[in-house]
Amino acid sequence: MNLEKVVFGFFVLLAATLNFGFFIGDISNPDLHNIYELFAALAVSLIATVLKFGDRTQIGAVHLATSLVADLQLVAASVVWVWAQEISAEGMSAAATASVVSLSGGALLAKVVSVVLLVIETVTFHRG
């Protein structure tokens, strides 16, 4: 068993599940989307991205690309949330919540691609 692959798989799946937990629910109801879950998804996603640096394989490059896309989406979602909550006069409106949830949905799609790649990589692995 390759401990590095186990750790990477753990963080990819944890990031995906945290992101899914934040994403699920009425898109415009801020009470159904926990800010701490969004920040946990971002933190774990960043860890998964760091774990992919140095992998020089083609599938490693695609993993890194999907992680960077997810990170960018989650950072944007976090910025929108902070802007709406702390700066905007409207506060966390339905429109702001919809924007945050939509951005996290984009990150979720990138994480799904990453999980699919992880499964493909695992299935096609040949012991040498």
Q: Dihedral sign for Cα 12, 104, 113, 24, please.
A: positive
59 within a domain of the structure (yes/no)? yes
Contact 91, 69 (CB under 8 A): no
Q: What is the pLDDT of residue 127?
A: 65
Burial of 102 (0-12, 13-18, 19+ CB in 10 A): middle
111 within a domain of the structure (yes/no)? yes
- What lies within 8 Å, CB to CB, of 58 at 6+ separation is none
50 within a domain of the structure (yes/no)? yes
Largest CA distance in the chain: 61
Between helix 58-82 and helix 35-52 the angle, nearest 10°, is 150
pTM exceeds 0.85 for this model:
yes
84 within a domain of the structure (yes/no)? yes
128 within a domain of the structure (yes/no)? no
**Number of domains forming the structure of the chain:** 1
Tell me which residue range forms the domain holding 34.
3-123
Instruction: Give the single-character DSSP code of 85.
Output: I
Helix (H) or strand (E) holding 87: none
Contact 31, 101 (CB under 8 A): no
- Give the SS3 label for residue 80: helix
Q: Please name which of 47, 41, 60 lies closest in space to residue 120, comparing C-alpha atoms.
A: 60
pLDDT by residue for the chain (128 residues), tens only, comes to: 788 888 989 999 999 999 999 999 999 999 999 999 999 999 999 999 999 887 888 888 999 999 999 999 999 999 999 999 999 999 999 999 999 999 999 999 999 999 999 898 888 876 65
